[in-house]
Amino acid sequence: MLSYKHHYHAGNFADVHKHLAQIAVLDALFRKDSACLILDTHAGSGHYDLLALPEKHSTEYRNGIARLWDLDPRPTQLTRYLNLIQSMNPDSQLRYYPGSPAIAQQLLRSQDRLQLLELHPAEYQTLKKFMRSDHRVSVHKRDAYEGLIALLPPKEKRGVVLIDPSYEIKTEPEQLLEAVKKAWQRWRNGVYLIWYPLLPSGLHIRLLEGLTAGPFTQLWHCEIKVKKPLGEHGLYGSGLVLINPPWRVPEQLSEQLPALASWLSQGVHTVRHQWLRGPQ
């Protein structure tokens, strides 16, 4: 969706949830020395200036990363995540927020590769400029799902695909499902981390039902809800699906999420996590 810009939502509670999981997955993969591929299908511009946001959009990050940034003392389970953000804000004033490409780049080792897909012209140019000096990173101006299938299987045997669409298109769940099934057939060893919004429309139910009915043998998901549903379109929670989750990552996230939902609460806070297929 070329009208969508993630900048307005950067650092919100969904980003916090998603990026904590991304770090947990990458840390688990990088415990082994062999090279990994990280493929980000909806990369955006890579990083965001929170102070450049219009005032009406600033409440999103203020109810997200800003709440964790202001915790004193900072919880140990957030140390890894907050240190990555601190590296972009050396004066300790929260201004710049890393998107998933910047987080992956900071964790990347010399033997790993980061492949970034972005179709929006302005976002692509910003991302390309941000990553231009890193030989480990390739930036592609191409459709997320076309690129996902075309770039798999990689030469690396291990790695993760990050899938984070805007869901502004009504048929997004079906497009995502079709693409992920094809991708999994090409690269069954890969980890797939899929974000989805919790909306009053119940869009996520279609996605979860489709994934559960798919060919995947290991499927785990987690959700946080931080406010009551309002209207037809308001985001009230965040969900993640992991296909082939690395060892111990579901347990790690399950332990972190109750406190996270409490810190990010806007009136309510609930957590849900379960295996949809595979280990119980």
Averages of pLDDT over runs of 10 residues in the chain (280 residues) are 63 98 98 99 95 82 96 93 96 95 98 98 96 96 98 98 94 96 98 97 94 98 95 89 98 97 96 95
DSSP single-letter state for residue 131: H
pLDDT of residue 5: 54
Task: Judge whether 164 counts as a catalytic residue.
Answer: yes
The domains of the chain, with CATH numbers, are: 6-277 (3.40.50.150)
CB neighbours of 47 closer than 8 A, spacing ≥ 6?
88, 96, 97, 98, 99, 101, 102, 130
**Active-site hit among 15, 40, 112, 164:** 164
pLDDT of residue 117: 98
pLDDT of residue 230: 83
Closest CA to 279 of 205, 186, 217: 217
| Cβ count within 10 A of residue 79 | 11
Entry pTM: 0.95
Beta bridge partners of 36: 158
Q: Give first-to-last CA distance, the chain, whole Å.
A: 37
